[in-house]
Amino acid sequence: MQRVSSNGTAGNDAVAPVPLDPATVYRRNGARPWPSARPRVIIVGAGFGGLSAARVLGDKDVDVLVIDRNNYHGFWPLLYQVATAGLEPESVAHPVRAIVRQYSNVSFMMAEVLRVDFAQQVVITAAAALPYDYLILAAGSANNYFGNETLAAHTYGLKDLDDAELLRNAVLANFEYAVSEANQARRRRLKTLVVVGGGPTGVELAGAFVELIKHVLVHDYPMLDMSEARVVLAEAGDTVLATFPTTLQQEAIRRLQAIGVEVRLRSPVAAVENGLVTFGDGSQIEAGVVVWAAGVRAAALADRLGVSQARSGRIPVQPALNLADHPEVFVIGDMAYLESPPRRGQPRAPYPMVAPVAVQMAERAAHNILARIRRKPMKPFRYFDKGNMATIGRRVAVIDAFGIRLSGYLAWAGWLVVHLMLLVGFRNRIVVFLNWAYSYFTYDRGLRLITGAKPPPPGSPVQAAAPTAEARQL
C-alpha cells in the first residue's frame, strides 16, 4: 500500500488517506455536490488571489471549491485602521459565501488545509480528503521573523482581524494601566509604541498611532502627560517605503517626523523581550507595545507541501504559474516565487508580495486552467505595475502611479477613493466612508473598545494572550 509522510509526499510514515466521494462530503457540509462530468478545481485561500481566480472561473464549464480557514474575505490594506480604533473589524471583511453565491458553479468550504497529496491529486483538510483535477494554492503569507522565535513571542503582528483586535486592545489597555501606574519610568514605557519595519504597513501604522494619541487619547486621559508618549518607527534599511522613488521616500520621512513619529533608520532589531527592544548597535528602548511589520514569508502551508522552496519560503513556479513536476497545480500570490524579466538594465527579481501581483497572477492562472481544459497553449504571467500608494496621516499620503508622483492632500484624497472603491461590499463602503467622515470632522474615533480576552499585563509574552498569526495559517 502506498504511504505518505506527514508533509504529503511519498514515504513510510502513514497510510495514504482514501479520497472521499465529493458528493458525500458536500452534502455533509451543506454545499452543492460536484458533478463528476466537469473538471474539479480547488482554490486554497479566499484572499485577493483566491477570489480573483474564482471570479474568472465563475459560470465556466468547471466546478470550483474555495477553501479557507475563515468564512470571510478581509480587505487587509485597511487592517491597520482596525488596530488603531479607526474602523470596526466587520467593515473591512465580507462573507465569502456572499461573494461566490452569484456563480452557480462555485462553492465554499471553511476548513484548514493540512497538506496536499500531489500523487493522488487530493487536498487533505482536517475534515475530509478532496480530489481535484486542478489546484490553485493561494494561501497568502505570514509574518517573517527570520528564525528569531523570541520576536514572534514578544511582538504583535498584523495579518488578520484577530491580530488587529489584539493590537488595539493592547494599546488601549496600556493607557488604562498608565492611569494607575505610580512609577514614572513604567508609565512612560506604557505610553511608548515601537513599530518595526518601514514599509507601507509600518508607515501607515506609525502615522495612525500618533494621530490616535494626539487627537483622541489626549482627551480621554487628561490625567496623563501625553508629551511623554512616543511612537518609534524602526527600519533596518537606509529609508522607508523602499519601493517608492527617492523623492517620495524623503517626503514620507519628513511628514512622519512632522506629525511626531520618531524615525530610526539603519536600526535593525536584534531582540525584543518583555517590552525591551534591542537594536543592532546595542541601543535599547522600553516599549509597552512592539509591532512587527518587518517582512512576510509564504504561509505555513508551503512548508507542508514537500516541494522545493525559495527565499521566504515561496514555491518556485513555471512562467505559466504551475509547478514543473505537477502541471495541474498552480501557485499564486505571496506563495509563488517567480522572477520578473530584466528591464532597463535592472537584474531579475522576484515579484513583490503585494495584492496587485496576487490578483493578476490569479487571473492568469485561472485562464491557463481553462486553456489546458480546452487543449490550448497556456500563456506566461506578465505583471502590469499600476504603482504604489501609502497614507502617512491626516491629509497626507504619497502616490507613485502611471508615472505620476504625488504627495500631500491630493495624494491622500486619491488614496481614499481607491481604497473605498476596492473594498468588497456596498455596506462596507458606506460604513467606512461614514467612519472616515466622522473622524475627519470631529478628530474622534468611536471604536476605542477593549473587547474579548483582556490583554496580558505589560511585559508578558504576546503568545500568552493569543496564538501568533503563524499558528492560525492555512
Q: Which residue numbers are catalytic?
A: 204
Question: What does DSSP say about strands 396-401 and 388-393: parallel, antiparallel, or unpaired?
Answer: antiparallel
Neighbour count for residue 404 (Cβ, 10 Å): 10
Beta strands in 374-449 (DSSP E): 388-393, 396-401, 404-408
Cα gap 289→195, rounded to integer Å: 8
333 and 347 Cβ atoms separated by less than 8 Å: no
40 and 82 Cβ atoms separated by less than 8 Å: no
Show the DSSP H helices in 307-402 as ranges. Answer: 355-373
Cα gap 403→392, rounded to integer Å: 21
Cα gap 212→227, rounded to integer Å: 14
User: Chain-centre distance of CA 180, in angstroms?
Assistant: 36
User: Chain-centre distance of CA 356, in angstroms?
Assistant: 13
Strand partners, 273: 276
At 105, list the grid cell: 458553479
**3 state DSSP class of 327:** coil
**Residue linked to cell 532597463:** 344
Extract long-range pairs of 176-180: CB within 8 Å, 24+ residues apart: 176/450, 177/457, 177/458, 178/221, 178/224, 179/221, 179/223, 179/224
